């Protein structure tokens, strides 16, 4: 297992695009949150700001967690690029010819994606802890609401494994990235809307691929509003289960494509 | 001895086209095994299958008498149509990945780069390489860690004449070091010059396979002529070892048994009082033989 990761590391350590995308994630996440806290990024007028600038514990986890999901798109694009690179350079074949099984090739990518998700989650936790401390003055309530950090991990695993599936299915980098963005920004929202509208209280649309993850980290104001109008609690557990189920489905879909298809 | 590779009843379809039909053969240890066939006969598909990058419809293959296929591939060096490397990495780092996957040969990189004349450029990125250098890097990768078997797909494709000669010399040299070589080629001449064994494919069907001398053996033809053609024909009819006599233009074409030499004919005719004015041994060209086999 470590040897698979070590080889993925050899492939990536000199790949500039990879480090540029990761740097963007590292820099933009705290910068964005900082601008929200300072009110430099805001939405509303006359003293009303619907971006909730509350960054003390535990609200900081909802805020940092939600905004971090935006930047997961960068990591998803990275996963698509490194996957489709293998097909473009035909190195997926070379890896197998050199003595990987097809599954080892696949599992190297899966492990990489898990490590990337873990690292991103750890980073979100650190950024959240720092902003929380700066705005609460102490670490006392720090572990309240850290389940949001776990939700962020699930969200990221979902996005990155979906990105891996897109790369393996489509094989071409531009088209895969295009289809991926089209799905998350347009098609997913249309389908969620239609399904939620027609299924009434069941909200089936919330269980669509990637949507179940988003439901775990909603826009902070919606969460507040929901609490204020005393609407029933969100079925968080079912979103967690749905997210895990989707990740497993992506895994087995990729696996079966890679085992059956000619390379 | 166990064959290096045993292929049994391999079939493969691409939608409607049957690319391989029940192909079976063994590759003996130490041979240079040519897979010969015109373009589109299924050679590359066959190589892809034995390296697990193409999934066969049916049949199976085994390396080294049944070794696990993944373990086996680590002892095989391959050079398929195009060199496949990470564009943004140097030759040296690219070989590092191959060696890590093979789990041996990481210390062998300098040797193979030197052997292929790339040592000076070992730290240049792959994308800055010329086509010839890319091909040489692919050879370097194939030689990494001292493979037991080398698989080449059209090894001289796209090379200039001196490159072709070098490549053939390299194949002979590697074979003499004990490496078994499996190569696909559509060039009969190449197979004849380099290979010890051959399998001939046509539209996915294995027509013939075995030692080159058996498969590509061609019947020789003797052309003879004398002043009195009728007398000559009568004399030759009485000679043992001549299978057929054909009168074409003003020549007699003789098909003889393999042991027959031109001098035997000459002596026989002299003894019978006929002086030959023309005696030529014609090897039937291999191309003709190949066309006969594949058409």
Q: What is the DSSP string of B63-82?
A: ETTTB-HHHHHTTEEEE-SS
Could you tell me which of A111, A80, A112, A213 has the C-alpha nearest to residue A158? A213
Residue A188 C-alpha from the chain's centroid: 15
Q: C-alpha angle with apex A255: B24 to B46, nearest 5 degrees?
A: 20
Q: Are residues B31 and B105 in the same domain?
A: yes
Distance set, CA B252 to CA A100, B228, B236, B247 (Å)? 62, 12, 10, 5
Q: What SS3 state is found at A15?
A: coil
Which of B193, B215, B237 is the last residue in one of the domains? B215
Distance CA B37, CA B202 (A): 6
| Bridge partners, B125 (sequence order) | B90
CB contact A46 to B (< 8 Å): no
Min Cα distance A217 → chain B (Å) is: 37
**Kind and range of the H or E run holding B151:** strand B149-153
- The total number of structural domains in chain B stands at 2
Residue A114 C-alpha from the chain's centroid: 11
Contact call for residues B126 and B86 (beta carbons, < 8 A): yes
Distance CA A258, CA B50 (A): 17
| pLDDT tens digits, A23-76 | 999 999 999 999 999 888 888 777 777 776 789 888 999 999 999 999 999 999
Q: Are residues B48 and B144 in the same domain?
A: yes
Contact B82 A90 (CB under 8 A): yes
Q: C-alpha angle with apex B119: B116 to B124, nearest 5 degrees?
A: 110
B61: which 2 tokens?
Answer: 């293959």
Distance CA B30, CA A246 (A): 51
Global ipTM: 0.89
Distance CA A245, CA A239 (A): 10
Distance set, CA A181 to CA A31, A80, A186, B102 (Å)? 23, 11, 8, 37
Per-residue confidence (pLDDT) for residue B286, from 0 to 100: 63
Specify the residue for token string 């996963």. A79
Q: Are residues B11 and B53 in the same domain?
A: yes
Q: Are residues B115 and B179 in the same domain?
A: yes
Q: Are residues B62 and B166 in the same domain?
A: yes
Q: Are residues B168 and B233 in the same domain?
A: no
Give one word for A217, left, alpha or beta, with left for phi > 0 and alpha for psi -120 to 50: beta
CB contact A3 to B (< 8 Å): yes
Which of B156, B183, B215 is the last residue in one of the domains? B215
Q: Are residues B64 and B201 in the same domain?
A: yes
Q: Which one-letter DSSP state was computed for residue B16? A: T
Which of B154, B180, B215 is the last residue in one of the domains? B215
pLDDT bucket at A173, cuts 50 / 70 / 90: very high
Who has greater pLDDT, A50 or A128? A128
Contact residues of B toward A, CB < 8 A? 48, 51-55, 69-71, 73-74, 76, 78, 80, 82, 84-90, 93, 96-98, 100-103, 141
| Bridge partners, B77 (sequence order) | B150
Residue ranges making up the domain that contains B10: 5-215
**pLDDT tens series, chain B, 295 aa:** 889 999 999 999 998 889 999 999 999 999 999 999 988 899 999 999 999 999 999 999 999 999 999 999 999 999 987 889 999 999 999 999 999 999 999 999 999 999 999 999 999 999 999 988 998 999 999 999 999 999 999 988 888 898 889 889 999 999 999 999 999 998 888 888 899 999 999 899 998 899 987 777 666 788 899 888 888 888 888 888 888 888 888 888 888 877 788 888 889 999 988 899 998 887 666 666 677 766 6
Per-residue confidence (pLDDT) for residue A230, from 0 to 100: 63
User: Can you give the CATH number for the domain in which B285 is found?
Assistant: 3.30.70.100
| pLDDT tens digits, A220-260 | 877 777 767 766 667 899 999 999 999 999 999 999 999 99
Contact call for residues B284 and B221 (beta carbons, < 8 A): yes
| Bridge partners, B78 (sequence order) | B151
Per-residue confidence (pLDDT) for residue B287, from 0 to 100: 66
Q: Are residues B44 and B147 in the same domain?
A: yes
User: Can you give the CATH number for the domain in which B111 is found?
Assistant: 3.40.50.300
Per-residue confidence (pLDDT) for residue B100, from 0 to 100: 96
Distance set, CA A246 to CA A78, A154, A260 (Å)? 20, 10, 21
Give one word for B32, left, alpha or beta, with left for phi > 0 and alpha for psi -120 to 50: beta
Contact A16 B89 (CB under 8 A): no
Q: Are residues B87 and B210 in the same domain?
A: yes
Contact B52 A102 (CB under 8 A): yes
Contact A11 B86 (CB under 8 A): yes
Could you tell me which of B249, B263, B182, B262 has the C-alpha nearest to residue B222? B262
CB contact A261 to B (< 8 Å): yes
Q: Chain B contacts of A263, Cβ < 8 Å?
A: 48, 53-54
CB-nearest partner of A96 from B53, B87, B96: B53
Specify the residue for token string 């010399």. B169
Per-residue confidence (pLDDT) for residue B218, from 0 to 100: 63
Distance CA B12, CA A104 (A): 24
**Kind and range of the H or E run holding B179:** none
Q: Are residues B180 and B115 in the same domain?
A: yes
* Residues 4-43 (A) with a CB less than 8 A from some CB of B: 6-7, 10-11, 14-16
Min Cα distance A9 → chain B (Å) is: 10
Q: Report the side by side order of strands in the sheet with B149-153.
A: B58-63, B5-14, B17-27, B205-211, B197-202, B32-36, B180-185, B149-153, B76-79
Q: How many residues does chain A have?
A: 263
Distance CA B218, CA B188 (A): 13
Contact A14 B88 (CB under 8 A): yes
Q: Are residues B136 and B232 in the same domain?
A: no
Q: What SS3 state is found at B210?
A: strand
Distance set, CA A175 to CA A113, A261, B97, B210, B273 (Å)? 21, 20, 28, 48, 85
Q: Are residues B142 and B274 in the same domain?
A: no
Min Cα distance A71 → chain B (Å) is: 26
Compute how many other C-beta atoms are within 10 angstroms of the C-beta atom of residue A173.
Answer: 18
Checking if the pLDDT of A8 tops 90, the result is yes
Question: Does pTM top 0.90 for this prediction?
Answer: no
Residues in Cβ contact with A19 at an 8 Å cutoff, skipping those fewer than 6 apart: none
């Amino acid at each position: 297992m470590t040897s698979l990761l070590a080889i993925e590391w050899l492939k990536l350590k000199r790949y500039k695009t990879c480090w540029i995308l990761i740097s963007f994630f590292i820099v933009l996440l705290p910068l964005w949150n900082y601008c929200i806290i300072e009110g430099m990024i805001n939405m509303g007028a006359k003293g009303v700001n619907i971006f909730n600038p509350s960054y003390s514990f535990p609200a900081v986890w909802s805020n940092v967690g939600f905004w971090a999901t935006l930047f997961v798109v960068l990591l998803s694009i990275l996963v698509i690029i490194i996957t489709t690179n293998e097909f473009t350079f035909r190195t997926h074949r070379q890896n197998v010819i050199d003595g990987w099984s097809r599954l080892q090739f696949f599992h190297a990518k899966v492990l990489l994606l898990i490590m990337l998700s873990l690292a991103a989650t750890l980073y979100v936790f650190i950024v959240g802890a720092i902003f929380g401390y700066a705005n609460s003055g102490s670490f006392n309530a720090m572990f309240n609401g850290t389940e949001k950090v776990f939700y962020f991990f699930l969200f990221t695993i979902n996005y990155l494994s979906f990105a891996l599936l897109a790369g393996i299915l489509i094989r071409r980098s531009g088209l895969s990235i295009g289809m991926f963005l089209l799905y998350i920004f347009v098609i997913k929202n249309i389908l969620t809307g239609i399904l939620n509208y027609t299924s009434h209280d069941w909200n089936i649309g919330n269980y669509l691929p990637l949507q179940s993850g988003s439901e775990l980290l909603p826009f902070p104001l919606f969460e507040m509003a929901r609490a204020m109008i005393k609407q029933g609690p969100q079925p968080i557990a079912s979103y967690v289960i749905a997210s895990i189920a989707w990740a497993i489905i992506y895994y087995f879909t990729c696996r079966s494509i890679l085992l059956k298809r000619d390379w | 001895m166990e064959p290096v590779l045993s292929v049994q009843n391999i079939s493969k379809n691409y939608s409607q086209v049957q690319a391989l039909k029940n192909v079976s053969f063994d590759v003996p240890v130490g041979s240079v095994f040519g897979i010969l066939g015109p373009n589109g006969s299924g050679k590359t598909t066959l190589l892809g299958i034995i390296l697990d990058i193409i999934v066969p419809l049916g049949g199976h293959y085994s390396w080294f008498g049944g070794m696990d296929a993944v373990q086996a591939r680590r002892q095989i060096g391959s050079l398929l149509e195009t060199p496949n490397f990470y564009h943004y990495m140097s030759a040296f780092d690219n070989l590092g990945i191959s060696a890590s996957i093979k789990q041996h040969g990481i210390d062998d990189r300098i040797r193979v780069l030197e052997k292929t004349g790339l040592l000076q450029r070992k730290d240049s990125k792959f994308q800055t390489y010329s086509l010839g250098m890319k091909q040489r890097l692919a050879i370097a990768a194939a030689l990494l860690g001292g493979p037991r078997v080398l698989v080449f797909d059209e090894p001289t494709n796209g090379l200039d004449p001196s490159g072709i000669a070098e490549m053939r010399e390299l194949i002979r040299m590697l074979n003499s070091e004990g490496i078994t070589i499996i190569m696909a080629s559509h060039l009969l001449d190449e197979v004849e010059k380099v290979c010890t064994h051959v399998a001939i494919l046509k539209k996915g069907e294995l027509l013939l396979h075995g030692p080159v001398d058996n498969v590509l053996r061609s019947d020789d033809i003797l052309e003879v002529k004398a002043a009195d053609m009728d007398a000559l024909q009568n004399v030759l009819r009485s000679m043992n070892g001549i299978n057929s006599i054909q009168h074409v233009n003003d020549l007699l074409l003789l098909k003889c048994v393999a042991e027959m030499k031109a001098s035997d004919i000459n002596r026989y005719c002299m003894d019978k009082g006929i002086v030959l004015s023309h005696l030529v041994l014609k090897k039937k060209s291999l191309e003709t033989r190949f066309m006969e086999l594949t058409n």
